[in-house]
């Protein structure tokens, strides 16, 4: 290389340069996931509000019948997974912003585990409701 040619000295390893990522150690995956889940939640939550209009004041038999329909169970599971994934991404940003020091990692793990378990609980509830509704007469 011609030493007299104008150039900038960058203190950065070749591996770091190849990865193309900075001090954040990751790219825009989190940002994109937040936006994609947000956009997906628009139709999903609209569907849920419409269903609540159908179910307002309903008793147990009616709810079970509703939950026993495959389309409803599918939409519910999609809604629950998207909701809690989006919640996880959002709460993570809040924790990153306001919780510092030693408390940061445990709080972040708590958010991750908590939202994951709640989402799973919701999915299991939908499956149970679906089994109940699709086998009931």
Partner 1 sequence: MQDIRKALYVGSRSDGRLIQRPMSPHLQVYRYRLSMVLSIMNRITGVIATAGATLGVFWLGAAAKGPKAFATARKVTGNPLGQLVLLGWLASVIYHTVGGIRHLIWDSGYRYDKKEVNKDGPVAVGVTAGVSTVLAAGLLAVSICRKRSRAKAGKVS
Site for partner 1 in 110-129 (CB under 8 A): 115, 118, 121-122, 125-126, 128-129
Per CB under 8 A, 24 contacts partner 1: no
Decide: 117 and 109 in contact? Cβ < 8 Å. Answer: no
| Alpha-carbon gap, residue 56 to 23, rounded angstroms | 50
Phi, psi of 84 (to 5 degrees): -75, -25
In the structure encoding, which two tokens stand for residue 60, read together? 């147990």
| Alpha-carbon gap, residue 65 to 124, rounded angstroms | 17
| Alpha-carbon gap, residue 79 to 123, rounded angstroms | 10
Residues in contact with partner 1, counted by CB under 8 A, come to a total of 37
Site for partner 1 in 63-102 (CB under 8 A): 63-64, 67, 76, 80, 83-84, 87, 90-91, 94, 100-102
Exactly one of 30, 108, 112, 132 binds partner 1 (CB under 8 A); that residue is 132
User: Where along the sequence are the contacts to partner 1 (CB under 8 A)?
Assistant: 35, 38-39, 41-42, 45, 49, 52-53, 56-60, 63-64, 67, 76, 80, 83-84, 87, 90-91, 94, 100-102, 115, 118, 121-122, 125-126, 128-129, 132
């Amino acid at each position: 290389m011609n030493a007299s040619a104008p150039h900038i000295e960058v203190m950065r390893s070749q591996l770091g340069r190849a990865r193309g990522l900075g001090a954040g150690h990751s790219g825009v995956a989190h940002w994109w996931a937040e936006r994609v889940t947000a956009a997906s939640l628009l139709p999903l939550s609209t569907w849920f509000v419409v269903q609540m209009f159908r179910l307002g004041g309903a008793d147990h038999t009616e709810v079970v019948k509703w939950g026993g329909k495959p389309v409803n169970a599918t939409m519910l599971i999609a809604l629950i997974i998207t909701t809690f994934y989006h919640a996880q991404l959002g709460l993570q940003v809040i924790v990153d912003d306001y919780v510092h020091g030693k408390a940061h990692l445990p709080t972040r793990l708590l958010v991750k585990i908590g939202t994951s378990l709640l989402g799973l609980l919701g999915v299991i509830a939908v499956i149970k409701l679906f089994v109940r509704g699709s086998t009931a007469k």
